[in-house]
Amino acid sequence: MEFNRRATATAQILAGITPNPLDPALKRLVESDTFKEHQQWMIPSWAHVRGRIQTMETWRSHEIKIPGAQKKTLLYPFSGPDFLNAYTLFPDHGRYVFFSLERPGTMPDLESVTPVQFTKLLQDVRSAFRDIFERNYFITSYMTKQLTTPWIRGTVPVMSIMMALMNRRIVRIEPLDLFPQLTQDYDAPDAKRPPVLMRAVLIEFANPGASGTQQLYYVALDATDKALEFYPDFLNWASQYKPATVLLKSASYLLHDNQFSKTRAMLLDAADVVVQDDTGIPYRYLSQNPWQVKLYGRYNKPIRPMKYAYQKDLEAAYSSQQEQVPLPFPFGYHWRGQKSGLIVAHR
Protein backbone atom coordinates (compact mmCIF):
# COMPACT_ATOMS: atom_id res chain seq x y z
CA MET A 1 0.00 0.00 0.00
CA GLU A 2 1.40 3.38 -1.02
CA PHE A 3 0.97 5.96 1.74
CA ASN A 4 0.97 9.72 1.48
CA ARG A 5 4.31 10.16 3.18
CA ARG A 6 3.98 13.90 3.68
CA ALA A 7 0.55 13.74 5.36
CA THR A 8 1.53 10.70 7.41
CA ALA A 9 4.79 12.29 8.58
CA THR A 10 3.01 15.54 9.46
CA ALA A 11 0.46 13.65 11.56
CA GLN A 12 3.21 11.64 13.26
CA ILE A 13 5.28 14.70 14.18
CA LEU A 14 2.22 16.47 15.59
CA ALA A 15 1.54 13.29 17.57
CA GLY A 16 5.06 13.36 19.03
CA ILE A 17 6.28 10.47 16.88
CA THR A 18 9.51 10.60 14.85
CA PRO A 19 8.73 9.41 11.29
CA ASN A 20 10.74 6.51 9.94
CA PRO A 21 12.14 7.13 7.39
CA LEU A 22 12.55 10.81 8.21
CA ASP A 23 12.32 13.35 5.39
CA PRO A 24 15.47 15.53 5.55
CA ALA A 25 13.25 18.62 5.22
CA LEU A 26 11.65 17.75 8.57
CA LYS A 27 14.83 16.80 10.42
CA ARG A 28 15.27 20.27 11.95
CA LEU A 29 11.83 19.98 13.56
CA VAL A 30 12.24 16.59 15.23
CA GLU A 31 15.69 17.55 16.50
CA SER A 32 14.40 20.75 18.12
CA ASP A 33 13.88 21.26 21.84
CA THR A 34 10.29 22.22 21.01
CA PHE A 35 9.61 18.74 19.65
CA LYS A 36 11.29 17.04 22.61
CA GLU A 37 9.12 19.11 24.98
CA HIS A 38 6.06 18.06 22.97
CA GLN A 39 7.04 14.40 23.28
CA GLN A 40 7.39 14.78 27.04
CA TRP A 41 3.69 15.68 27.16
CA MET A 42 2.33 13.43 24.40
CA ILE A 43 4.08 10.17 25.27
CA PRO A 44 2.85 9.82 28.89
CA SER A 45 -0.54 11.32 28.00
CA TRP A 46 -1.01 8.79 25.22
CA ALA A 47 0.20 5.94 27.46
CA HIS A 48 -2.59 6.85 29.88
CA VAL A 49 -5.15 6.95 27.06
CA ARG A 50 -3.86 3.63 25.69
CA GLY A 51 -4.78 2.02 28.99
CA ARG A 52 -8.35 3.25 28.55
CA ILE A 53 -8.40 2.13 24.92
CA GLN A 54 -7.26 -1.37 25.85
CA THR A 55 -10.11 -1.60 28.37
CA MET A 56 -12.56 -0.46 25.68
CA GLU A 57 -11.13 -2.94 23.17
CA THR A 58 -11.53 -5.84 25.59
CA TRP A 59 -15.10 -4.78 26.36
CA ARG A 60 -15.90 -4.36 22.67
CA SER A 61 -14.64 -7.82 21.78
CA HIS A 62 -17.13 -9.35 24.21
CA GLU A 63 -20.10 -7.00 23.94
CA ILE A 64 -20.36 -5.66 20.38
CA LYS A 65 -20.59 -8.30 17.67
CA ILE A 66 -21.07 -6.88 14.16
CA PRO A 67 -20.87 -9.53 11.41
CA GLY A 68 -19.46 -8.29 8.11
CA ALA A 69 -18.19 -5.05 9.62
CA GLN A 70 -15.66 -4.62 6.78
CA LYS A 71 -18.58 -3.92 4.43
CA LYS A 72 -20.46 -1.65 6.81
CA THR A 73 -20.61 2.10 7.39
CA LEU A 74 -20.38 3.76 10.80
CA LEU A 75 -22.49 6.92 11.08
CA TYR A 76 -21.27 9.29 13.79
CA PRO A 77 -23.41 12.46 14.03
CA PHE A 78 -22.15 15.44 16.05
CA SER A 79 -18.76 13.73 16.08
CA GLY A 80 -16.38 16.64 15.96
CA PRO A 81 -12.94 15.14 15.27
CA ASP A 82 -13.46 12.12 17.57
CA PHE A 83 -11.81 9.41 15.50
CA LEU A 84 -10.38 7.99 18.73
CA ASN A 85 -13.60 6.55 20.17
CA ALA A 86 -15.10 5.64 16.82
CA TYR A 87 -12.08 3.58 15.78
CA THR A 88 -11.58 2.03 19.20
CA LEU A 89 -15.15 0.70 19.27
CA PHE A 90 -15.45 -0.02 15.53
CA PRO A 91 -12.00 -0.67 14.05
CA ASP A 92 -13.17 -2.97 11.28
CA HIS A 93 -15.75 -0.88 9.45
CA GLY A 94 -14.91 -0.14 5.85
CA ARG A 95 -16.38 3.34 5.88
CA TYR A 96 -16.89 6.03 8.51
CA VAL A 97 -19.23 9.00 8.02
CA PHE A 98 -18.78 11.79 10.58
CA PHE A 99 -20.79 15.00 10.53
CA SER A 100 -20.81 18.02 12.81
CA LEU A 101 -20.51 21.81 12.74
CA GLU A 102 -16.72 22.10 12.90
CA ARG A 103 -14.98 22.79 9.61
CA PRO A 104 -12.63 20.14 8.20
CA GLY A 105 -9.77 22.55 7.57
CA THR A 106 -6.36 21.45 6.31
CA MET A 107 -3.09 19.94 7.45
CA PRO A 108 -0.33 22.42 8.35
CA ASP A 109 2.70 22.68 6.07
CA LEU A 110 5.56 21.68 8.36
CA GLU A 111 8.27 22.26 5.78
CA SER A 112 7.62 26.00 5.80
CA VAL A 113 7.04 26.66 9.52
CA THR A 114 9.51 28.79 11.45
CA PRO A 115 10.74 27.66 14.89
CA VAL A 116 8.37 30.12 16.58
CA GLN A 117 5.42 28.91 14.50
CA PHE A 118 6.30 25.29 15.24
CA THR A 119 6.29 26.02 18.97
CA LYS A 120 2.85 27.63 18.75
CA LEU A 121 1.54 24.81 16.56
CA LEU A 122 2.54 22.12 19.07
CA GLN A 123 1.09 24.17 21.93
CA ASP A 124 -2.21 24.28 20.03
CA VAL A 125 -2.07 20.51 19.48
CA ARG A 126 -1.71 19.92 23.22
CA SER A 127 -4.57 22.31 23.92
CA ALA A 128 -6.81 20.53 21.40
CA PHE A 129 -6.08 17.10 22.89
CA ARG A 130 -6.26 17.92 26.59
CA ASP A 131 -10.01 17.32 27.01
CA ILE A 132 -10.31 14.18 24.87
CA PHE A 133 -7.33 12.67 26.68
CA GLU A 134 -8.66 13.49 30.15
CA ARG A 135 -12.46 13.31 29.76
CA ASN A 136 -12.79 11.16 26.63
CA TYR A 137 -14.85 13.84 24.88
CA PHE A 138 -14.41 17.28 23.35
CA ILE A 139 -16.06 20.31 24.94
CA THR A 140 -17.87 22.03 22.07
CA SER A 141 -17.37 25.61 23.25
CA TYR A 142 -13.63 25.04 23.75
CA MET A 143 -13.27 23.08 20.52
CA THR A 144 -14.57 26.01 18.47
CA LYS A 145 -11.55 28.03 19.62
CA GLN A 146 -9.09 25.13 19.58
CA LEU A 147 -9.78 24.29 15.93
CA THR A 148 -9.64 27.84 14.58
CA THR A 149 -6.17 28.99 15.61
CA PRO A 150 -3.64 30.23 13.04
CA TRP A 151 -1.89 26.84 13.31
CA ILE A 152 -4.62 24.23 13.91
CA ARG A 153 -7.39 24.72 11.38
CA GLY A 154 -10.34 22.35 11.56
CA THR A 155 -10.89 18.70 12.35
CA VAL A 156 -8.57 17.15 9.75
CA PRO A 157 -5.32 17.75 11.69
CA VAL A 158 -6.84 16.36 14.90
CA MET A 159 -8.24 13.23 13.23
CA SER A 160 -4.94 12.69 11.41
CA ILE A 161 -2.99 12.93 14.68
CA MET A 162 -5.32 10.33 16.20
CA MET A 163 -4.65 8.06 13.22
CA ALA A 164 -0.91 8.44 13.80
CA LEU A 165 -1.26 7.66 17.51
CA MET A 166 -3.23 4.52 16.59
CA ASN A 167 -0.52 3.45 14.11
CA ARG A 168 -2.49 4.15 10.95
CA ARG A 169 -1.06 5.63 7.77
CA ILE A 170 -2.75 8.27 5.64
CA VAL A 171 -3.22 7.29 2.01
CA ARG A 172 -4.87 10.51 0.85
CA ILE A 173 -6.76 13.55 2.08
CA GLU A 174 -9.18 14.85 -0.53
CA PRO A 175 -11.59 17.79 -0.23
CA LEU A 176 -15.06 16.90 -1.49
CA ASP A 177 -17.98 18.91 -2.82
CA LEU A 178 -20.93 16.58 -2.31
CA PHE A 179 -23.47 18.92 -3.92
CA PRO A 180 -21.63 21.28 -6.32
CA GLN A 181 -24.75 23.04 -7.58
CA LEU A 182 -25.82 23.90 -4.04
CA THR A 183 -22.33 25.21 -3.30
CA GLN A 184 -22.78 27.60 -6.23
CA ASP A 185 -26.32 28.49 -5.16
CA TYR A 186 -25.20 29.23 -1.60
CA ASP A 187 -23.95 32.71 -2.54
CA ALA A 188 -26.96 33.67 -4.64
CA PRO A 189 -28.64 36.86 -3.34
CA ASP A 190 -32.00 35.16 -2.81
CA ALA A 191 -30.65 31.86 -1.46
CA LYS A 192 -32.41 30.59 1.65
CA ARG A 193 -29.10 29.34 2.89
CA PRO A 194 -28.18 27.92 6.30
CA PRO A 195 -25.55 29.73 8.41
CA VAL A 196 -22.91 27.11 7.57
CA LEU A 197 -21.79 26.18 4.06
CA MET A 198 -21.33 22.42 3.79
CA ARG A 199 -17.70 21.39 3.53
CA ALA A 200 -16.50 17.81 3.26
CA VAL A 201 -13.30 15.81 3.12
CA LEU A 202 -12.32 12.20 2.54
CA ILE A 203 -9.43 10.70 4.49
CA GLU A 204 -8.37 7.30 3.21
CA PHE A 205 -6.14 5.49 5.67
CA ALA A 206 -4.61 2.08 6.23
CA ASN A 207 -3.17 -0.28 8.79
CA PRO A 208 0.44 -0.83 7.70
CA GLY A 209 0.19 -4.45 8.83
CA ALA A 210 -2.92 -5.28 6.79
CA SER A 211 -4.14 -5.15 3.22
CA GLY A 212 -6.75 -2.73 1.97
CA THR A 213 -7.79 0.72 3.12
CA GLN A 214 -10.58 2.34 5.11
CA GLN A 215 -12.36 5.59 4.35
CA LEU A 216 -13.45 8.41 6.64
CA TYR A 217 -15.86 10.98 5.25
CA TYR A 218 -16.12 14.10 7.38
CA VAL A 219 -18.91 16.57 6.56
CA ALA A 220 -19.23 19.97 8.22
CA LEU A 221 -22.83 21.14 8.24
CA ASP A 222 -25.74 22.31 10.36
CA ALA A 223 -27.96 19.22 10.79
CA THR A 224 -31.10 21.02 11.97
CA ASP A 225 -34.29 20.43 9.99
CA LYS A 226 -34.28 24.06 8.85
CA ALA A 227 -30.70 23.97 7.56
CA LEU A 228 -31.27 20.63 5.82
CA GLU A 229 -33.98 22.22 3.67
CA PHE A 230 -31.06 23.67 1.68
CA TYR A 231 -29.37 20.25 1.50
CA PRO A 232 -32.39 17.92 1.02
CA ASP A 233 -30.27 15.03 -0.28
CA PHE A 234 -27.66 14.99 2.48
CA LEU A 235 -29.43 12.50 4.74
CA ASN A 236 -30.01 10.17 1.77
CA TRP A 237 -26.31 10.44 0.96
CA ALA A 238 -25.31 9.71 4.56
CA SER A 239 -27.58 6.68 4.83
CA GLN A 240 -26.98 5.19 1.38
CA TYR A 241 -24.94 2.28 2.75
CA LYS A 242 -27.51 0.90 5.15
CA PRO A 243 -27.91 -1.01 7.33
CA ALA A 244 -25.36 1.10 9.18
CA THR A 245 -23.88 1.17 12.66
CA VAL A 246 -24.62 4.39 14.57
CA LEU A 247 -22.43 5.89 17.31
CA LEU A 248 -23.68 8.79 19.44
CA LYS A 249 -21.62 10.19 22.26
CA SER A 250 -21.55 13.45 24.21
CA ALA A 251 -24.11 14.73 21.69
CA SER A 252 -25.61 17.54 23.80
CA TYR A 253 -29.03 15.81 23.65
CA LEU A 254 -29.58 17.36 20.22
CA LEU A 255 -31.69 14.44 19.01
CA HIS A 256 -34.08 15.10 21.91
CA ASP A 257 -34.92 18.38 20.16
CA ASN A 258 -37.45 18.32 17.33
CA GLN A 259 -35.24 20.74 15.42
CA PHE A 260 -33.25 17.58 14.59
CA SER A 261 -36.22 15.32 13.79
CA LYS A 262 -35.06 14.58 10.23
CA THR A 263 -31.60 13.47 11.36
CA ARG A 264 -33.13 11.36 14.14
CA ALA A 265 -35.55 9.69 11.70
CA MET A 266 -32.72 8.95 9.25
CA LEU A 267 -30.63 7.30 11.95
CA LEU A 268 -33.51 5.14 13.17
CA ASP A 269 -34.25 4.05 9.61
CA ALA A 270 -30.65 3.42 8.55
CA ALA A 271 -29.27 1.71 11.66
CA ASP A 272 -29.30 -1.92 12.66
CA VAL A 273 -26.92 -1.26 15.57
CA VAL A 274 -26.87 1.82 17.82
CA VAL A 275 -24.17 2.39 20.45
CA GLN A 276 -24.72 5.56 22.47
CA ASP A 277 -24.86 7.27 25.81
CA ASP A 278 -28.03 8.97 27.06
CA THR A 279 -27.30 12.09 24.96
CA GLY A 280 -28.15 10.33 21.70
CA ILE A 281 -31.49 9.05 20.41
CA PRO A 282 -34.12 9.29 23.19
CA TYR A 283 -34.58 5.93 24.87
CA ARG A 284 -38.31 5.82 24.04
CA TYR A 285 -37.46 5.26 20.37
CA LEU A 286 -35.23 2.27 21.16
CA SER A 287 -37.27 0.63 23.93
CA GLN A 288 -39.85 -0.76 21.49
CA ASN A 289 -39.86 -3.28 18.64
CA PRO A 290 -37.88 -3.99 16.55
CA TRP A 291 -35.06 -2.95 18.90
CA GLN A 292 -33.39 -5.10 21.53
CA VAL A 293 -31.51 -3.05 24.10
CA LYS A 294 -28.80 -3.81 26.63
CA LEU A 295 -27.85 -1.22 29.26
CA TYR A 296 -24.36 -0.85 30.72
CA GLY A 297 -23.11 1.19 33.63
CA ARG A 298 -25.60 3.48 35.30
CA TYR A 299 -28.01 6.29 34.51
CA ASN A 300 -27.23 9.74 35.81
CA LYS A 301 -29.43 12.74 35.27
CA PRO A 302 -28.12 15.18 32.64
CA ILE A 303 -25.49 17.71 33.63
CA ARG A 304 -26.74 21.12 34.72
CA PRO A 305 -27.20 23.02 31.43
CA MET A 306 -29.14 20.07 29.94
CA LYS A 307 -31.47 18.95 32.73
CA TYR A 308 -34.43 19.27 30.34
CA ALA A 309 -33.25 15.98 28.75
CA TYR A 310 -33.88 13.86 31.86
CA GLN A 311 -35.33 10.48 30.77
CA LYS A 312 -37.57 8.95 33.38
CA ASP A 313 -38.12 5.81 31.30
CA LEU A 314 -34.38 5.21 30.90
CA GLU A 315 -33.80 5.71 34.61
CA ALA A 316 -36.59 3.20 35.30
CA ALA A 317 -35.09 0.71 32.86
CA TYR A 318 -31.76 0.89 34.66
CA SER A 319 -33.46 0.56 38.06
CA SER A 320 -35.43 -2.50 36.96
CA GLN A 321 -32.30 -4.47 36.08
CA GLN A 322 -31.80 -7.40 38.42
CA GLU A 323 -28.07 -6.79 38.30
CA GLN A 324 -26.13 -3.79 37.04
CA VAL A 325 -23.97 -4.58 34.01
CA PRO A 326 -20.68 -2.71 34.56
CA LEU A 327 -19.13 -0.31 32.08
CA PRO A 328 -15.37 -0.37 32.73
CA PHE A 329 -14.44 2.91 31.01
CA PRO A 330 -15.62 6.56 30.96
CA PHE A 331 -18.10 7.38 28.21
CA GLY A 332 -19.87 10.72 27.92
CA TYR A 333 -20.38 13.62 30.26
CA HIS A 334 -20.40 11.58 33.50
CA TRP A 335 -16.78 10.56 33.07
CA ARG A 336 -15.68 10.83 36.68
CA GLY A 337 -16.00 8.09 39.25
CA GLN A 338 -17.44 5.25 37.14
CA LYS A 339 -20.75 7.06 36.60
CA SER A 340 -20.98 6.53 32.84
CA GLY A 341 -23.76 4.68 31.09
CA LEU A 342 -23.97 3.15 27.64
CA ILE A 343 -26.82 1.79 25.53
CA VAL A 344 -26.36 -0.90 22.88
CA ALA A 345 -29.39 -1.50 20.65
CA HIS A 346 -29.71 -4.12 17.91
CA ARG A 347 -32.48 -4.35 15.37
Position 90 pLDDT exceeds 90: yes
Position 332 pLDDT exceeds 90: no
- Give the mean model confidence (pLDDT) for residues 175-204: 92
pTM, two decimal places: 0.94
Percentage of residues of the chain with pLDDT beyond 70: 94
* Confidence at residue 276, expressed as pLDDT on a 0 to 100 scale: 98
Residue spans of the domains in the chain: they are 5-346
- Give the mean model confidence (pLDDT) for residues 330-343: 80
pLDDT-based confidence at residue 149 (cuts at 50, 70, 90): low
- Give the mean model confidence (pLDDT) for residues 58-77: 95
- Give the mean model confidence (pLDDT) for residues 190-200: 87
Distances from the Cα of 48 to the Cαs of 55, 98, 134, in angstroms?
A: 11, 26, 9
Position 189 pLDDT exceeds 60: yes
CB 293 within 8 A of CB 286: yes
Percentage of residues of the chain with pLDDT beyond 90: 80
* Confidence at residue 203, expressed as pLDDT on a 0 to 100 scale: 99
Q: Label residue 344 left, alpha or beta by phi (over 0 means left) and psi (-120 to 50 means alpha).
A: beta
Position 64 pLDDT exceeds 90: yes
Instruction: Give residue-wise pLDDT tens across range 91-139.
Output: 999 999 999 999 999 999 999 999 999 999 999 899 888 877 776 656 5
pLDDT-based confidence at residue 187 (cuts at 50, 70, 90): confident
**Alpha-carbon gap, residue 278 to 328, rounded angstroms:** 17
Position 262 pLDDT exceeds 80: yes
Residues 6+ apart with CB under 8 A from 271: 75, 242, 243, 244, 245, 246, 347
